[in-house]
Amino acid sequence: MFSCWLSRLYWALSKPTGRTKPLIWGSLSRSLVLSSQRRIPELSSFVARTNTCGELRSSHLGQEVTLCGWIQYRRQNIFLVLRDFNGLVQVVIPQDESAASVKKILCEAPVESVVQVSGIVISRPPGQENPVSHLETKMPTGEIEIKVKTAKLLNSCKKLPFEIKDFLKKTEALRLQYRYLDLRSSQMQYNLRLRSQMVMKMREYLCNLHGFVDVETPTLFKRTPGGAKEFVIPSREPGKFYSLPQSPQQFKQLLMVGGLDRYFQVARCYRDEGSRPDRQPEFTQIDIEMSFVDQTGIQSLIEGLVQYSWPNDKDPVVVPFPSMTFAEALAGYGTDKPDTRFGMKIVDISDVFRNTEVRFLQDALSKPQGTVKAICIPEGAKYLKRKDIESIRKSAADRFKQEVLPVFLKASRNWNSPVGKLIMEEQGLQLIRLLEVQEEDVVLLTAGEREKACSLLGKLRLECADLLEAGGVVLRDPALFSFLWVVDFPLFLPKEENPKELESAHHPFTAPHPSDVHLLYTEPQKVRSQHYDLVLNGSEIGGGSIRIHDAELQRYILATILKEDVKLLSHLLQALDCGAPPHGGIALGLDRLMCLITGAPSIRDVIAFPKSFRGHDLMSNAPDSIPPEELKPYHIQVSWPTDPEAEKSSLNHPCHPES
């Protein structure tokens, strides 16, 4: 009856008879949602427990409760600590003969067995309230304990490969192999539950407050040009393959053509990037696209989204976020994702050394793009050892083929360096002024082509920060979250393998900066893009752009500048020709964002079932082999290595035709 009335009301309010109708329906739907949330039954209506372990307090004294959980710890067969997702509680094992069966269950069940206990919530004896547990952390349930009446062993646990205790160190390989056990740890529980809460609040912000539509896009797609390598999926049609999309980019643009106007998705994405540090072959992003919007509008939306969904146990996020151009980021920090929590910015000191006797500085400044750059390491002489300085110089020479000069300012205001005697007094004073050098500071100088010099010092800046913090200096407050927009990226970059050819800096659907459109036909390498990145504490957590909505401009960039086969994107070009609205969007990397918020050492610690560094699932041993007969429908034949040693090692493989 109610659903029938609700359906009639919906259609009545949805009729286009007035401008306020959709708003009325939206308000009503939100009211119904909130009303339904208030009517959610208690936990006991669904499962065989009345409460969770971590929620019991002194306000529950005298209540009879039923708890289910894992045996975390047992002490002298008198107490045991029961654990579930919500926390820990102490259970008193009965010692009287009338409860012998209960005692037998609770004393003989191995640790990590699953039990159900029923009993009365009582106060702990005087002097034992809020005790420090065996984990050396205070228990929120420390004022009470459970006097057990009945107990049931739900499932016994065999000997485990490691104990479920956070203070015990375990190798990551072991954690991934037994991921279902690692998930029981309080840290993994916190990480995954916080992730769920943030996603829920993001959905609420986008759908309920800003009218976005949650749309699922296909996972099986086709090979498309540009970007990272895609995973290939065989089909039963000879010689034809699907590809897993590296993002829903084309689909969300097509949704804008289709008039959905505001789309978002918690999207699964795939990239066949091989072994890369802290990357995953499959990952999740908050994918967003809007019509009739500019760059400022999208940035404002994302700032509100982050602020709305931010965890309550962290310091509030302050908006708007500061902004910096790509050129400013590279010049000041040597990277397009600067960590702005600390200083040590790169300073151009070329003018100081126009007349210098230092040979390698002379050589660099004599070239057209030559420059001299420097960073000042505060109290570097105090915290950096000689071996650290030598390691920095060796790293610059081996990895970047550049020379770095360390210069120390002594108390006498003289420079302690192999080239110190070549630094004239006036040059030294200018260095002190430009870099704000204090006693015991260390200045690192390098020279060369501008971008290479900045890139080198940007990496050394982070390495030196690590060294200083290892010595006890606090540069990067772990409780500080420093957001930053980086804008005005180049639209194209030279290809590494052939610098005379260009490739997209972001992706081929990014629109050029309106002021630079004319350069597309003369000097495309100078065109700026309407691309923007969101950076948090030196990590890129999101990237997006205003898109090309003109089919002819898109065709010109693909065919003429990028030399791509436009036939692969004929569907998109046809769609743009059918009245595509101006549109733009962004994608936030959910895994990276959660990693930074929780302070996890790797994104693998915020993903339920991640892959290893090499892209393997150590728990299920994926990827795995497939028998030849199962490959026949896909018209695929496995090609085995011709190397004698590799061939010898493959003969025993279950899929090998000779095995």
At position 273, the amino acid (one-letter code) is E
State which residues form the domain around 538. Answer: 191-294+306-318+483-606
Within a domain: residue 173?
Answer: no
**Integer Cα distance of 117 and 120 in angstroms:** 10
Closest CA to 506 of 540, 556, 474: 540
- Same-domain status, 458 and 347: yes
How large is the greatest C-alpha to C-alpha distance in the chain, in angstroms? 96
The counts of H helices and E strands in the chain are 20, 22
- Same-domain status, 537 and 461: no
Within a domain: residue 167?
Answer: no
- Same-domain status, 487 and 601: yes
Residue 93 sits in a domain whose CATH number is 2.40.50.140
Q: Among 412, 435, 470, which residue terminates a domain?
A: 470
- Same-domain status, 503 and 529: yes
Within a domain: residue 14?
Answer: no
**Low-confidence stretches of the chain (pLDDT beneath 50):** 1-40, 132-136, 646-659
The first and second tokens of residue 232, run together, are 């290939």
Percent helix, strand and coil across the chain, each rounded to 5? 35, 20, 40
The 8-class DSSP code of residue 156 comes to -
Residue 389 sits in a domain whose CATH number is 3.30.1360.30
Buried b (16+ CB within 10 A) or exposed e, 631-658: eeebeeeeeeeeeeeeeeebeeeeeeee
Q: ∠ CA 208-299-481 to the nearest 5 degrees? A: 95
pLDDT of residue 641: 74
User: In this structure, how many other beta carbons lie within 10 angstroms of the beta carbon of residue 352?
Assistant: 24
Structurally, how many domains does the chain consist of?
Answer: 4
pLDDT of residue 418: 65
pLDDT of residue 47: 74
Within a domain: residue 195?
Answer: yes
Within a domain: residue 639?
Answer: yes
pLDDT of residue 616: 94
- Same-domain status, 269 and 376: no
From residue 552, give the alpha-carbon distance in Å to each of 26, 555, 557, 572.
Answer: 39, 5, 9, 12
- Same-domain status, 456 and 399: yes
- Using a pLDDT cut of 90, give the percent of the chain over it: 73
Within a domain: residue 30?
Answer: no
Cβ pair 505, 493 in contact under 8 A? yes
pLDDT in tens, 282-293: 999 999 999 999
Q: ∠ CA 647-651-653 to the nearest 5 degrees? A: 115
Cβ pair 590, 199 in contact under 8 A? yes
pLDDT of residue 19: 35
Within a domain: residue 373?
Answer: yes
pLDDT of residue 316: 95
Task: Give 607's contacts (C-beta < 8 A, 6+ positions apart).
Answer: 280, 591
- Note if the bond before 320 is cis, omega within 30 degrees: yes
pLDDT of residue 640: 76
Q: HSE of 143 in the Cβ direction (CA atoms, 13 Å)?
A: 8
Within a domain: residue 182?
Answer: no
Closest CA to 256 of 569, 513, 546: 546
Q: ∠ CA 268-270-272 to the nearest 5 degrees? A: 165
CA dihedral 571, 572, 576, 578 (to 10 degrees): 30
- Same-domain status, 268 and 366: no
pLDDT in tens, 278-335: 889 999 999 999 999 999 999 999 999 999 999 999 999 999 999 999 999 999 999 9
- Same-domain status, 428 and 500: no
Phi/psi class of residue 414: alpha, beta or left (left: φ > 0; alpha: ψ in -120 to 50)? beta
End-to-end alpha carbon distance in the chain: 66
